[in-house]
Amino acid sequence: MKKKLIALSLGLFALIFAFSACNHSGGSTNVNGDTNGDTQGGVNTDCHEAGSPPAPITAKQTVKLITYDSFEIPDKLLKEFEAQENIKIEIQKGGNSGTLFSQLVITKDNPLADVAFGLNNIQISEALAQNLFSPYLAVEIDSVPESIRIVGGNNCATPINYGDVCINFWLDSYGAENPPPKNLDDLLKPEYKNHFVTQNPESSTPGLAFLLATIAKYGDSSDSAAGWKNYWRQLRENGVEITSDWSEAYFTEFQASGGDKPLVTSYAGSPVASVVFDGVETPPTGVIKDGCFRQVEFVGLIRDSGRSQEKTDAAKRVIDFLLSRKYQAEIPLTQFINPANGDVELPEAYKNHAVEIENPLSLAPDLIAEKVDQWTDEWTDIVLR
């Protein structure tokens, strides 16, 4: 599992970074992966325990938060938190979510930071099995819907946001006489031949999410002529194009930037990004609601036996801050995904243009951890060779 997770070259927030630079199944899952060390059912046994609440901070503390490159906290909000809590947040950035996971594993015996944010539900089972986090859930955890929380005794990973990887379409390419596809099955029809571009699942998080969506939809049959493998053979015959990453797919091949592909794997929040960055009243893209795969991002308290209790308390307060209503309210129009805190009022622009996915596809994180290497190898044999 680690081989594929570390190799991924784009995180969920490639969308945010790229849009900015150019100005431009759901449900609960149980973590039951292979174990390392003192674990039970893929979750550290002490993750079954509730972490203690943080004590007041008496002396100023510096908390190191490790995350991916595109993570931002609005400066005004950050300064307000630091002044109020007597805590300095030192943000350490290093690549994408795959790089983050790699750093956490390699340095787990000598941690680089106190808090880690950015691992998603594709990676979290392995992170818990690797014993990376200590028990603690944010104080407002009860505001998080059960559908995006890890069940099965996990008290080591707090959801912060969630979004859906979906197929987007260019509105001007379709109309009443030639409607866009409605679902994954439609992508195999002759009228959509050479219309679709997606990403390589070995180098792109949205590409992997789309592959997982097809596995969740069509099943993992041992028969190479059935299930998801048969679907991808037909998709290849219908002219699917593969790029190395999301940026190449969206900003080179997709019609949004002058390419010739009217269908692309992107996010349910892409139309909102167009409204915010391009200043248009109506997004030029639509979202196909069938066949979306949900991604959830988590924050955790990095396990470190050498950290002082007061610094640990400060780190817990940073986790509380990331799930607080003040920070969560910034997520929809800066990251173009949903805040995990269900008590947050969504802004009008987001409510008007974000596409709600009622029945996203999903796979249990432990199943992904067990099978992802096999699946991506099989995908490569079918699509690229």
Residue 113: predicted pLDDT = 97
What is the token pair recorded at 121?
């539900």
Which of 201, 173, 384 lies closest to 285, judged by CA? 173
Residue 212 Cα distances to 4, 40, 203, angstroms: 14, 26, 14
Domain 164-294 grouped into CATH 3.40.190.10: yes
Quick one: which H or E segment has residue 291? strand 285-302
Distance CA 49, CA 32 (A): 17
Quick one: which H or E segment has residue 159? strand 158-170
Which of 207, 71, 148 lies closest to 341, judged by CA? 148
Which of 167, 227, 217, 228 lies closest to 195, judged by CA? 167
Q: Any idea where the domains of the chain sit in the sequence?
A: 2-162+295-353, 164-294
% the chain with pLDDT above 90: 69
Residues of the chain with pLDDT under 70: 1-45, 151-153
Three-class DSSP category at 266:
strand
Strand 39-40, strand 43-44: pairing: antiparallel
Distance CA 67, CA 239 (A): 37
| Dihedral pair phi/psi, residue 280, rounded to 5° | -90, 155
* Residue 198 Cα to chain centre, angstroms: 17
| Dihedral pair phi/psi, residue 267, rounded to 5° | -135, 155
CB 141 within 8 A of CB 298: no
Residue 44: predicted pLDDT = 57
Q: Specify which residues 339 forms β-bridges with.
A: 161
User: Could you tell me the end-to-end alpha-carbon distance of the chain, in angstroms, rounded to an integer?
Assistant: 23
Quick one: which H or E segment has residue 289? strand 285-302
Could you report the per-residue pLDDT of 109-149, keeping only the tens digit for each?
999 999 999 998 888 888 988 999 999 999 999 999 998 99
* Highest CATH level, class, for 2-162+295-353: alpha beta
Residue-wise burial string across 358-377, b where 16 or more C-beta atoms lie within 10 A, e elsewhere = eebbbbbbbbbbbbbeebbe
Instruction: Please indicate whether the domains covering 2-162+295-353 and 164-294 agree at the CATH topology level.
Output: yes
Query: DSSP letter string over 168-230?
Result: EEEGGG--SSSPPP-STGGGGSGGGTT-EEEE-TTT-HHHHHHHHHHHHHH---SSTTSHHHH
Distance CA 221, CA 80 (A): 53
pTM of the model: 0.83
Residue 150: predicted pLDDT = 83
Residue 94: predicted pLDDT = 77
Residue 152: predicted pLDDT = 64
Q: Specify which residues 89 forms β-bridges with.
A: 63
